Amino acid sequence: MTSGAGAPTRAEIMVFAACREVRDGDCVFVGVGLPNLAVQLALRLHAPRCHLIYESGVFGARPVRLPISIGDPCLVSGAAQVLPMAETFLYFLQGGRTDLGFLGAAQIDRYGNLNTTVVGRDYDHPKVRLPGAGGAPDIALNARRTVVIARQDRRKFVERLDFRTTVGWAEGGTSREAMGAPGGGPARVITDLGVYGFDADTREMTLESVHPGVTLEQVREATGWDLRVASPLGATEIPDEAMLRLLREELDPDRIYLKG
């Protein structure tokens, strides 16, 4: 095996940023893709007592290999509980037992609302038929914090969604609370260019840090609206050599999630 030395890739920086959002003791609703790896890293670093929940119906997963999907058999062997999917949604999400949820999206707007349904405004004749809602609307509605992970470009970061599958901060301000959404709303957006928070009053997405080698101009270029930027703009924290070794050699040696 090669050593972990070498600069982190964008994917590794995203995984590390997502991992930092997990707090020890959190009930974490783990989504498809990079979050699978981020929570494994969090378990090994600062959050050994976090509980991994999968919408497939698993609480307290402790997989001994990297799960390839949210329904991988390795999530069941050694888990604390397996339960029907309906109860996972009823009790862990709607029942208010989820601290953190991870989400992905094909389109996101400045208030963290997400589209995973169709590209094109005509629902009946879409340009691209996307996968649809899955568990996302309920994670977004009920989790105390949500974190969105997406690659960033102008087709994804749009002024107006073609379809709102999943609510973030709705129209901003107090509009989310006004509609009676029980959860805490989006806390962070992590992309291959930077990390975003949301303004406490307007609830508008705000660029907080850029990854090494990324300029503010590049980020603006990849955003479909006039981007709000924190002052001062920070630099995204990057994983150290030991963490990189852990990611590359132990957690994802086949580069299932770290490719690209």
Partner 1 sequence: MPARGRRSDDNPLPEVPTLSESKVLTMREAVSRFVRDGDTVVLEGFTHLIPFAAGHEIIRQRRRDLALVRLTPDLLMDQMVAAGTARKLVFGWLGNPGVGSLHAVRRAVERSYPGPLEIEEYSHFGLLCRYKAAASGLPFFPLRGYRGTDLPRANANLKQVACPFTGETLDAVSALHPDVTIVNAQRADAGGNTQIWGLVGAQREAAFAARRVIVVVEEVVPEDVVRADPNRTQIPSVVVDAVVEEPWSAHPSFVQGYYDRDNAAYLAWDRITRDPAELERYLDEWVHGLPDRSAYLARLGEATRDRLRPGPRLAGPVDYGDYR
Enumerate the active-site residues. 55
**From the list 9, 94, 202, 218, which residue makes contact with partner 1 (rule: CB under 8 A)?**
94
Closer residue to partner 1 (CB): 73 or 253: 73
Q: Does 66 bind partner 1 (CB under 8 A)?
A: no
Within 164-243, strands assigned E span 186-190, 194-198, 205-210, 228-235
In the complex, the smallest distance separating the C-beta of residue 59 from partner 1, rounded to whole angstroms, is 12
Q: Which of 76, 187, 216, 229 binds partner 1 (CB under 8 A)?
A: 76
Taking residue 220's Cβ as centre, other Cβ atoms within 10 Å add up to 13
Q: Using CB atoms within 10 A of its CB, is residue 43 exposed (0-12), middle (13-18) or buried (19+)?
A: buried
Shortest Å, Cβ 163 to partner 1? 5
Closest separation between CB of residue 80 and partner 1, Å? 14
Cα 77 to Cα 82: distance, rounded to the nearest angstrom = 10
Residue 138 lies near partner 1 (rule: CB under 8 A): yes
Burial 144-179 (b: 16+ CB within 10 A, else e): bbbbbbbebeeebbbeebbbbbbbbbbebeeebeee
Could you count the other beta carbons within 10 Å of the beta carbon of residue 3?
10
Which range, of 50-58, 202-210, 220-228, 231-239, touches partner 1 by CB under 8 A? 50-58
Of 134 and 224, CB closest to partner 1: 134
186 forms beta bridges with 146
Among 141, 222, 227, 244, binds partner 1 (CB under 8 A): 141
* From 120-128, 146-154, 192-200, 240-248, span contacting partner 1 (CB under 8 A): 120-128
Q: How far is CA 2 from CA 97, 244, 245, 255, in A?
A: 41, 11, 9, 14
On the question of a cis peptide bond just before residue 232, with omega within 30 degrees of 0, the verdict is yes
Q: Which of 136, 147, 222, 243 touches partner 1 by CB under 8 A?
A: 136
Residues that bind partner 1 (CB under 8 A): 32-33, 55-58, 68-73, 76-78, 82-86, 89, 93-94, 113, 117, 123, 125-129, 131-138, 141-142, 163-167, 170, 176, 179-182
